[in-house]
Structure 1
Amino acid sequence: MSVTPDFVLSDEELALLPTDEEVAAYARNGWYLTRKLFTDDEVDTLVAASERFYAGERSRTLPGRPPRLAYWTPDKGPVQRHNDYIHYEHDDIAAILRKPIVGAVAARLAQADEIRIFQSTLIYKPPIAGEPSNVVPWHFDRHYWQSCTSDDMLTAFIPFHDCGLDMGTITMVEGSHRWEEIGADDSTSRHFADRDNDDLEVMLARNAEHNHASVTKVPMIIPKGHMSFHHCRTYHGSGANVSGRPRRAISFHLQPGSNEYRAFHLSNGDVVAYNHDVLVRRTADGRPDYADPEFCPVLWRNA
């Protein structure tokens, strides 16, 4: 599955990169809306490939099943679907996700010389207004990436169509990545799906109050072929899909080249684990290697 990427942009692609002013705005706000990075044909390919994936098509399957793997199967019914490691299991989807401009934009925002894939999740939010699983509570990704050394990881949210309020688009809390956090404990190292929605609401409000900040929610109105990026400490969530058609997207988590595994201990001495830890190769000193090219390939490297 590992391929050698071409870290070159055309003049047209160079014009798609964030400006200095936009990079500064990302540092201030914690989110960024891109220009059109994918063609309509590329987005339509993602839709078609995702439908083949849901029908059972795989380029390969994971060599093991991590303990916290998000993996929808038809027997789970019409809930919101999440399928991790889509960049590993389906080559047609991976080929588009690994388009160099995506990594180059991430490198500009993170001010990093190298960007690697960390995780990718195929998402399908069914058009069922009252479906509880459609509502994603307020959270930030860094909480459940405690096994990582980097505080500059980021996520691209990539819808497969125009995505607005009626579809339950991703929504950011302005500037929340710059807040001093209070109330963190063992529970905050767990994925939001394993935490109480009301507790997450309270945590957001308390952290805003502690930082003398207002909770300014900014929904991402994303045209087809565009995407949003957000910082790993930016609070975000999403609401119900009331549009009458499915909301299809990929959550594309990215890591700077400097990111490594670290042992993060809970209060009882247990070490926090991420799904990679049972899949990736080991470093010379025996740690999970978050630079394993099979699962965490390089997306972009500055010349």
Structure 2
Amino acid sequence: MTSQVDSFALTDEERELLPSDSDVQFYLEHGWFLSPRIFSDAEVDLLVTASEQFYAGHRDRVLPVRPARLAYWEPSAGAVQRHNDYIHYESAAIGEILRKPLIGAIAARLAQADAIRIFQSTLIYKPARPAEETNIVPWHFDRHYWATSTSERMLTAFLPFHDCDEEMGTITMVDGSHRWQEIGGNDETSRHFADRDRTQLEEMLRENAEANGTEVRKVPMIIPKGHVSFHHCRTYHGSGANVSDRPRRAISLHLQDGDNAYRKFKLSDGSQVSYNHDVLVRRQTDGTPDYSDPEYCPTIWRG
């Protein structure tokens, strides 16, 4: 029987793909990192096949309940940008690829963590419709929506299923923004970008940069097939229109370090913030959600 420790082992070739010390320093300074090629054509093509099966209705298992803020495109929504959370849970084929130890090992190097767990995964399909409003993802950073997490080292891996560039509306980073001291209160910043005006978000970005004595430097990620971009949980990012002649397909894989845990977080009116996990994951002995539940948050690397 293969032990859990052995299951996280890397080959010699995979170890050569881990971030170097200078790569880690770059990530710490800039808040993002573009990996070497870590997925084969066969693995990426399997993601395409499995995603098409998912869109056609195939599920290996389904969520027992639907959280209030669940992103879950269904055909009745039409030709808008598609987001489907918990894809690693509902699709066995996709989940197996996303649990590849190498992606966890890279994340562990960047986050300087001993272990990495999946926090969330979202299947994304941006249709080839330049005027489609839902294709635009306004500026935000992921930590805003993870207020119930204790960690400041969480990060996201963005995995396109093809070469991905500006024409396709690739993910774009605001360089170094993870080091900014943020202005504004928790009530405002914890609101999801979908609930906020894009012009307001653009102005908020500019004001944050000015308050930190810097400028907004936007870096579109040009990602070849099989490569993955990583960004810090406090790095501002967004994406533009898909003006190409083909859909942009990708998975956004949110990752948590092994120390991350649930915490209570309240807004100024006393209302308590919740995350989708809170109605799904198992409970700890004190009754709070367990963000290490292996059903929803499997460990993909332990060094």
Q: CA deviation at 1:195?
A: 1.9
Q: Secondary structure at the match of 1:152?
A: coil
Q: What is the SS of the residue equivalent to 1:38? A: coil
CA displacement, residues 37-88 of structure 1 (integer Å, 9 cap, x when unaligned): 1000000000000000000000100010100000000000000000000000
Q: What SS does the corresponding residue of 1:147 show, helix, strand or coil? A: coil
Residue 80 in structure 1 maps to residue 81 in structure 2: yes
Q: Normalised by the size of structure 2, how large is the TM-score?
A: 0.98
Tell me the CA shift for residue 4 of structure 1: 5.2
In structure 1, distance between residues paired with 2:42 and 2:90: 21
Partner residue of 2:91? 90
Aligned partner of residue 109 in structure 2, secondary structure: helix
Contact 1:46 1:93 in 2 (8 A): yes
- Residue of structure 2 equivalent to 1:31: 32
* Structure 2 CA distance for aligned equivalents of residues 122 and 26 of structure 1: 25
Partner of 2:94: helix, strand, or coil? helix
Q: How far apart are 1:92 and its partner, in Å? A: 0.2
RMSD of Structure 2 on Structure 1 (CA): 1.0
* Equivalent residue number for residue 231 of structure 1: 232
Give the letter aligned to residue 105 of structure 2: A
Query: 1:164 offset after TM fit, Å?
Result: 0.4
Deviation at 1:194, TM superposition (A): 1.9
Checking the alignment, whether the CA contact within 8 Å between 1:142 and 1:232 is kept in structure 2 is yes
Q: In the comparison of the two structures, how many residue pairs are matched? A: 300
Deviations 1:203-246 (A, max 9, x none): 10100000011100000000000010000000000000001100
* Matched residue, 2:164: 163
Asked whether 1:202 is paired with 2:203, we answer: yes
Counterpart amino acid of 1:113?
Answer: D
For 2:236 and 2:120, the matched residues in 1 are separated by 18
Q: 1: distance between equivalents of 2:197 and 2:299?
A: 35
- Are 2:17 and 1:16 equivalent residues in the alignment? yes
Residue of structure 2 equivalent to 1:174? 175
Per-residue deviation, 1:190: 2.3
3-state SS, counterpart of residue 182 of structure 1: coil
- Counterpart CA distance in 2 for 1:223 and 1:244 is 18
**Residue of structure 2 equivalent to 1:7:** 8
Match of 1:106 in 2: 107
Determine the C-alpha separation between the residues in 2 that align with 1:187 and 1:213.
Answer: 22
Q: Distance in 1 between matches of 2:38 and 2:299?
A: 18
Amino acid across the alignment from 2:151: S
Letter in 1 for 2:135: N
How much does 1:200 deviate?
Answer: 1.1
Distance 1:68 1:277 in 2: 11
Q: 2:117 matched to which residue of 1?
A: 116
Identity %: 68
Partners of 1:250 and 1:172 in 2: CA distance:
17
Name stretches of at least 5 consecutive residues in structure 1 with no aligned partner. none
Whichever residue aligns with residue 247 of structure 2, its letter is P
**Structure 2 stretches of 5 or more lacking a match?**
none
User: SS of 1:277's equivalent?
Assistant: helix
After TM superposition, list the pairs within 5 Å mapping 1:181-192 onto structure 2.
181-192=182-193
**Residue 58 of structure 2: aligned partner:** 57
Letter of the structure 2 residue corresponding to residue 73 of structure 1: E
Give CA deviations for 1:229-279 in whole Å, capped at 9, x if unaligned.
000000000000001100000000000000000000101101100000000
**Structure 1 residue 244 corresponds to structure 2 residue 245:** yes
Is the Cα contact below 8 Å between 1:187 and 1:195 reproduced in 2? Answer: no
**1:182-214 C-alpha deviation (Å, 9 max, x unpaired):** 013313212211222122111101000000111
TM-score (normalizing by structure 1): 0.98
Matches of 1:222 and 1:299, distance apart in 2: 23
Write the letter of the residue equivalent to 2:28: A
